[in-house]
Amino acid sequence: MALYDELVNIVGNKYCTDKDYICVSYSRGIDPCLPEITPQIVLRPESTVQVAEIIKIANKYKTPILPRGGGCGLMGGSKPISEETILLDLTRMDKILDINEDTHTVTVQCGISWSRLNAVLLDKGYYTGNMGPGSGLTASIGGGLSHHSGGGGGCAKYGKCTEHCVGLEVVLGTGEIITLGSQESKFIENPFIRFAFGPDLMGIFLGDNGIMGVKTQATLNIFRRPPYYSGKTFYIEDDSYEKSQQIVLDMMKLGWSKELGIYDFFFYPPPSVMGITTDGLIESWGDIKGGVIFYVHEAFDEQVLERTSDVLEGIAKKHSTRELGPSPEEGNITDWFYAEQGHWQIYHNLFSMMGPDYFVATTEFIYPIAKYPEMLYKLDKWEEDHHEELFDADAESGVGQVYMLNHNCCYFGTGINATSDEDLKEDVIKLWKEQFEFILKEGGVLYMCGQIGSHVIIDSRVYSDEYYNFFKGVKEVTDPNHIISPGKFRF
């Protein structure tokens, strides 16, 4: 096959295959319901130049390419939609190219995982601020930037990971290589700021779900990790939606991350807590029935940490039933979360509650902090209104947790838990799409889109015609033959 032979010439026999037993493994992602389609060829390039050559050949043969990092997408974003696809596995491009302590930046190839990068940075006293998605043990930098990811620790202080990208190298759908950020200037070797020589064109490729080009190299801000931290866990027996929000709002009035150094703040609604305690996932929580909040804050000065600890504890005690702690044996999970890096395990606790015969069809989204109790009640009502359909599909709706982002937003870990019964998949997909549409029409912003989320966005007519036409026009410029990640957003 001419296509295969030309691709082998680029990466070599070892890193190019059309063997079924390898290609089939790339037909799968974490998303449970969407079809598993085996790509015709899998490639593992080692450089930007190789990626560019591969894309040029794909254009020559009009063959679609799907870039893939750790394969952690929950909405079909890293799975082929046709057997003709060339699957571009970027995890071989995993080098740390530069840690610049003068500009407080790190430059990496986009196939490296968030956990591996931060392990190196932590040894030097740094971290990436937001440490990527909750799946950061295996999720890649490129994938995180493609989805505006968060959840892996640091969201309340640093926001989403894309907020700290100051340099980006992208291979367009034509095979051309461009750099963005201050590196747009040929006189700047190391990017140090995102907003540089005109419009912020880097934003086209951040959160693009992989459709505008292939990210090969990124430069991120890095931050000194404070030497002191503290955290508390509290139980809220009644009215936990409103009381957890009041704790957040009271803390925000006093400065949130800037003055108080809050690194993360999580809220677990009562149904989620019940699942955790029923299955004994956190034995020290006993059999409490209500909501739980926990927070972690950092400081460079021990006395400052002690003062802010007293302030935060006073606010939490005012609106909660009692403290779970202060020790881990008494229910305080913050040492595990922060010091032992449990942030990469806590992300979607619904997964840990489900056995091998269950899956979660996730509908994660972002919403204003000022309105999150209202949205929790609406989700409860949605579940009540769809009780019969959920029962027939052997499924249930739930919110795993709500965590706070910086400034004014929070993340909802929503989804539908269902048995992995093949006969019920169509019913579950229907409910999945219905919950997506409900969230969008209530003003939610999807955490990521992938195939299924991006389709619901278009089918629900979320975009104005003018915006969608502009969006399509940008896609035409960056990828005129629609070679890269076809199908998303109905392109």
Confidence of residue 347 (pLDDT cuts 50, 70, 90): low
The span from the CA of 114 to the CA of 144, in Å, is: 8
CATH code of the domain in which 284 resides: 3.30.70.3450
Long-range contacts formed by 342-345: CB under 8 A, 24+ apart = 343/131, 343/134, 343/151, 343/152, 343/153, 343/264, 344/115, 344/131, 344/134, 344/135, 344/136, 344/137, 344/152, 344/153
**Residue 489 backbone class (left: φ over 0; alpha: ψ -120 to 50; beta: rest):** left
The span from the CA of 283 to the CA of 328, in Å, is: 10
Asked if pLDDT for residue 35 goes beyond 90, the answer is: no
**pTM for this prediction:** 0.94
Task: Specify the pLDDT at position 356.
Answer: 53
Rounded to an integer, what is the distance from CA 196 to the centroid of its chain?
26
Confidence of residue 11 (pLDDT cuts 50, 70, 90): very high
Number of folded domains that form the chain: 4
Task: Specify the pLDDT at position 423.
Answer: 83
125 & 193 share domain: yes
45 & 119 share domain: no
The span from the CA of 3 to the CA of 5, in Å, is: 6
Task: Specify the pLDDT at position 361.
Answer: 85
Question: 11 is in which domain, residue-wise?
Answer: 2-91
Residue 477: inside a domain: no
Digit-coded pLDDT (tens) for 387-404: 999 999 998 898 989 999
Digit-coded pLDDT (tens) for 172-210: 999 999 999 998 998 998 899 999 889 999 999 999 999
Digit-coded pLDDT (tens) for 116-126: 999 999 999 99
Mean pLDDT of the chain: 93
The span from the CA of 344 to the CA of 481, in Å, is: 38
The span from the CA of 408 to the CA of 110, in Å, is: 29
Asked if pLDDT for residue 1 goes beyond 80, the answer is: no
80 & 176 share domain: no
3-state secondary structure of 139: coil
CATH code of the domain in which 135 resides: 3.30.465.10
Residue 474: inside a domain: no
Confidence of residue 353 (pLDDT cuts 50, 70, 90): very low
Residue 475: inside a domain: no
81 & 130 share domain: no
188 & 270 share domain: no
Task: Specify the pLDDT at position 446.
Answer: 92
Confidence of residue 136 (pLDDT cuts 50, 70, 90): confident
Digit-coded pLDDT (tens) for 398-446: 898 999 999 999 999 999 988 777 888 889 999 999 999 999 999 999 9
Confidence of residue 352 (pLDDT cuts 50, 70, 90): very low
Digit-coded pLDDT (tens) for 256-313: 988 999 999 999 999 999 988 988 888 899 999 999 999 999 999 999 999 999 999 9
The span from the CA of 164 to the CA of 162, in Å, is: 5
310 & 401 share domain: no
Asked which of 72, 91, 110 is the last residue of a domain, the reply is: 91
Confidence of residue 357 (pLDDT cuts 50, 70, 90): low
Asked which of 91, 106, 136 is the last residue of a domain, the reply is: 91
Asked which of 320, 343, 366 is the last residue of a domain, the reply is: 343
The pLDDT > 90 percentage for the chain reads: 80
